[in-house]
Structure 1
Amino acid sequence: MFNNTRLTSLALVALMLLSVVAMGAGTAAAETTTLNGDGTDEVTGFAANNSNDIANSIASDGTDFTTDGTTKLFMNVTYDGEQYALTEEDVSDGTSASQTVNISNDELSDLPGDATKTTNVTVTTWGEDSGGNVTTATSEFFVDFTFDNTYSATTADDNNAELEEDDGGLFSAFNLHTLTFGAFGEEAENFDLHTYDQTVGIDGSNTTVTVNDATSNGTDAFDDAMGEDKESGDLIYGAAAAADDAPVLAFYDSADEDIVDAENDTYAVYDSSSGVWTFNAGEDQAGQTQMDVFVSSQSYTSDDLDYDADDLGDLFKEQADMGARDLGSAFGWGSLTTFYLSSVPGLGMIASGGSLFAGLFVVGRPQTQTAA
C-alpha cells in the first residue's frame, strides 16, 4: 500500500512538471533589444509584434533627475523624415541618475521594409521638465532593423497611391435608376477611387506582406466599396486585390479556410478596424524574392482593372465555388457576361468587364459589396 501511494504521488508530481513545461513551450518569451546608442545596434527578426521591444537608458544631466528637473523621458523612432513611434514615460524615481525606456515593436507596424532586408532608422532620446524644456542631453543614433523572413511592410500615402473621385464611368448617365425613373430604388452613389501598387521584397512563400494605409481617403473608400453588411471571413467583391498582376481572392477581417489554404494559396485579407491589408504569399511565390501587391477600391469586374475573365472565373467560379446567382448578387447581373461569355466567339466585346450592353441596364461599377 505504501509503495502504491508513493508511486501515485510521484506520478502526479511528474504530470504537474510536464504541464508546466508544456505551458512554457507554448508561450513565446518576450525579447528586449537593449540599444547601446553607438550606431552599431541591430534589431533582428523584426516582425512588428508586441512580444518584442527596444530599450535604451536615458541619463540625467546632473547627479539625478530631481537635480536637473527632469520629470518625463522620451524616445522616438524616425525613418526618411517620418516619425513611426514615440514613447513618453514619467520619471519613476527622481533620485536615480538614469532610467530605461521601451518601445514595443508593434508600435512600428507602419515601418516599411522587405523580408530579410534592413531598414536603417534614427532613434532619439531626451528628457524634459514639467514645463516642456529639454533637461537632459539629446542622444541621436542609427539602428538597423532587419526584417524577419516572414514579414514585409509597405505604406500607401497621398504621394504614392492613386486617389481620385469616381466620375461614374461612361454609362453612369444610363443606369437602371435613370432608365426606370427610379422605380428600382435610389440611385447608386459614386465613391472615391483608391489604388495602390507596390513591389516588396519577400522570402518566397514564407512571407506575409502588410499594406498600411496612411492616405486621406483610403479607409473610407474601401469601406464604402465593400458595404456595411460584412462579417469576418466574407469574400470581398466591391474592392479588388492582386499579386504579381493577377487577381487574388480577398477576405474581410479573416480568411475562410474552407476556400483558401494558407500553406499554398496567395490571397489578401482586409482588416476593417485598421484599414490594413495583408497578403499571404503562396506556392506561386515559392523561390521568389519580390512580389507586386495591388489593392483598389474598384470591383474585380471594373473595366479599369481589365482582369482576364478566365482568371476571375478560376477564382470565383472554381475556387470560391460561386454559381450564377451568387456572382450576379455579388458583382451585379451585368457582370455575368464576364464570367460566362468570355470564351464565346464574337462576344468578347460584351464580356470585357460586362459593360458594353450590360452597362445600359446596370451601373458600370458595383457601388457596394452588396450591389446587384
Structure 2
Amino acid sequence: MGRDRGVPQEIFATPASLEGGKPTGPRGPRPLRAGATGATLVPLLQQRHPSTLTTPEHTVELRGATLAWAGRDKSSKKHVLELRTREGSEFLIQHDSDGIIAAWHKAIADSIGRLVSSAPCPALPGVVGHARTMGSTSSESDSSRVRNKLRKFLQRRPTLQSLRERGYIKDQVFGCSLQALCERERGTVPRFVLQCIQTVERRGLDIDGLYRVSGNLATIQKLRYKVEHDEQLDLDDGRWEDIHVVTGALKLFLRELPEPLIPFSHFEQFITAIKMQDPARRGRCIRELVSSLPPAHHDTMQVLFHHLCRVIEYKEENRMSVQSIAIVFGPTLLRPASEEGNMAMHMVFQNQVVEHILNQYSYIFPDG
C-alpha cells in the first residue's frame, strides 16, 4: 500500500470478540496501522519507526461484514465506526478527524458492498470446477480494486503540515513536555495553567475540598478535548461551572507531563536536601535547587505555588491546609524516573518537599 509521509496512517481500533452477545477480551483503544488485502482489512501494530510495517497481528475478513456508526453504548468518543464480521467479531475504529474517518467509512463500506455483489452463485451440477475458477478470478479482481481505491485515497490525502496550516490539526497540550509547550506558546508558563489558576481564584477559592475533591471524570475529559481542539477556551462556559472540573483538569495536565514540574534529574537532589537536619542549610539548598530549574519549570512552579499559597489563605472555608495541599500535589510534582525502590518512603519526602516550598515561598521566590 502506498504511503504519504506527511500523514500518519493510524486509526484507533478496539477489537472485541463476541460470545453469547457479550464482548470479551481487551476493550481499550490501541493505535493501529491498517491496509487492505483483497477481502480483508489488515490491522498492523504501530511502530516507533513509521517507515517499517510489522507482521499483521490478525486480519479482518470483510466478506459478510457489516459497518455502522457506533452508538453511545459502544463508545463515548466521537467518529467511531462499528465493524462486525460474519463470525461475530466486533471492531471499533476511531479517528479524531471527520474527513479521515469518513474516508475510512466509505472505503470499507465500498469494499463490503463489492464483496456482496460479487458473491458467487450456487454451483450447478457438472460445473463445479468452472464456478471455482470464476470465484478465484472475482476474488483477484476484488483485491485489485480495493488496493487501487486505497492507493488513490492515500495519494489524495493532504499532508500533515497543510492540515496544521488550515487549523484542522493542533499540537497537543496534555502530554506535551513543559519546555516544548512553552516554546510553542512563546512564554514560560503554559496558557492553560494560567487560565485554570485565574478561574479558580476568581470563583473557587472558598469551595470546600478545593483540589482534594475530584470533578466528574467524563466532564474533565470533555474539557481536555476542548483544550486540544479549540483555540478559544472559555472556562466560564456553563459546562465547566463545577470548579472541581477545572482543578481536576489542571491536576491531569500536571500528571501527564512527560517530565514532572521538578525534573527527574533533580529528584534525588531534592530528596537529599529535605533530609538535612539543619533547617538553615536545608532552606538554602532547596532554594538553590529551585533556582537551577529550567525557565519553564521554574516559572511555572512559581506561578503554581503562589496560587496554592492563596488557596491556603482560605483554609477556614475550603479546609485545605499546607499539609492537605502537599498530600495532593507531592507525588504529581516530584516523582522518580523509575518507580523502583521504597515508594511509601518516596511519598513522605515528596510531600515534605512541597510543604517546605509552600511554607518558605517568599524566601525561595523573593521576586514573587
Could you tell me the TM-score, scaled by structure 2's length?
Answer: 0.28
Please, what TM-score do these two structures have when normalized by structure 1?
Answer: 0.28
Per residue, is there more strand in 1 or in 2?
A: 1
